[in-house]
Structure 1
């Protein structure tokens, strides 16, 4: 059974599919998200913020970008708790 990580606002992602988690205020992450929203690289984006400020971007092994309103530290702590 897949272990799920809570990314806030009743949204979950399988823990084994999370590749990386970065702050959304980093310039290279902002450029990547902006380009993906324009459709330049065909990268699927999952916006899990529900209108809140994007604080982190989670890169999945499937190639998806997940925008989350939680801080990267919170997501990493939840991922560690699930993997124990």
Structure 2
């Protein structure tokens, strides 16, 4: 009984692994490469959703364009979003 369970589990694990490889190979982000400008702008939008009126989204996006995505804001890192916060 234990042997049958182990072999079934092994087959299942291999099947999941193979299907995940297929997903990795067809993932558009991996297929097209890493675009820091796109990631920067997406993070600006995410921070705007999280912080609302406290966060200056357009200013963040302008910074992404100006620095070509080299300064990516992280919504939970105060130092990276401090320039885009307002006091309301």
Which category describes the TM-score, using the shorter chain as reference length?
A: under 0.3
Structure 1 length as normaliser, TM-score?
0.24
Higher radius of gyration, 1 or 2:
2
Structure 2 length as normaliser, TM-score?
0.24
